[in-house]
Chains A and B, each alone.
Chain A
């Protein structure tokens, strides 16, 4: 396997957990809620997903349980941020810490245990193409995630549901005046974000690296939050950012294996830094930022 084939084959899978979490966060933020608890929700989803998949030998049940756990934690956040109109930044940080703690607690008995990863699914014809063939030999969740990105783009831009979500995020007062139940819509958006974060965690712990290690989410929840903001709340740019991060983290592994004379910690941190810098450059277009920024993001709404 060439280096290029290795990167092509691995990038999509490396991008998948980020993309799952970021797409959920995109919906929550488009509705006007900043959920900074994403890292904790992913960590909780990872632990619950691993424990359930380990005990039931079913990845499907693992994903289902992880999404339920993500929803449950996001509802705690929603209670604070929407119900009691708490500061969304503080509430999100607190919930994030809670999620990380719960994750360690739940995963503790299974430390260093492993799972069987599900098999890969090669798409006929496409997987046999020269050079880009490895892109089309992935596990099923990867295909579903990238399909979901298209669905979410279409919903946000071309459906009434998307219009409602964007309207609530841009101007909750006007949305209420014309008769939308702002808090209910925001609650649903936050819960969706929680479910997606939970599944993102489950993907990381049961498929991408099917081994339980405490702290395995390793900041990917934060990168997902950054992807949404620096991707200027547009699904396409978020996908780009996730792929960039995925490719860079594989590049780091290759560089390490090839014995590049850089400390491994530095190599491991590069994808985070480069992704943020790249996205910051993309989002420095003020016009695009202004047109896409969610006007009411992070502001409590009394409804």
Chain B
């Protein structure tokens, strides 16, 4: 009897056709890539200056910071968390480092980058502590710390901007110089991808992050310390935000109180487009980078196609909503097909 009732829903769904959408799931990243290529071809037809070397390099440098942050955000999302404070952390680290280098121009660029990362790590440690040791919900903890870090940024800057003429050449060079003909920002981003790939796929700790995200209870029983993992991902996120703060200030040659305000939403959007599940446990590096590239292309291509800048937000919102809903539809199709297979 019990067996019969358990089979009933399966038999019911078996009447339905096999979902065609499900085949998309296997090629999620490919689908995203195909969409990006289609978009690029479309834009290229409308405006031939889109796929010039100059514009592509420009686009890559503009996307580098977004994609670095997206890599960190992916790890946070994988553990079922969210970090809304990264824009504020970025601004705080950028502002503090800009003040240091404008006060003594002999400050070495490498030291500036390390200082930025250090500030970011401290910011991340505070959030990690709140989330893992005290057990505050990530969205609330990062919301509160976002306010606090943003307030600190305004306080230390006293409402003033630090502009390019106050920064030494060497500091601005961090993001604008090039090595072997390739912009340093792109090189830094590639380095981050490579180390993230190694960390996620080939180290024990990297796999533990996914274990905690997909099933915290089992992870705990397996002997993984959830607290340490949470601490780690928020600290990593903070460190990456700190790094990006220095890169941002160096790239745009200006540090302001409202630097990168609301940027966290673009980063989260890139992750969602890249197929990271907000429910935790799943997310691929390749997808996230493609998601960031897609947002970068949109930001670059819409002005080239003479689309009014005021349409940009609306288009971005529509694409995110459609991508997220399509993702769910695909997943439902996959599950339906699994039920079909079970009947045989």
Q: Indicate, yes or no, whether A interacts with B.
A: no
Question: Interface residues, chain B, CB within 8 Å of chain A?
Answer: none
* A residues adjacent to B (C-beta < 8 A): none
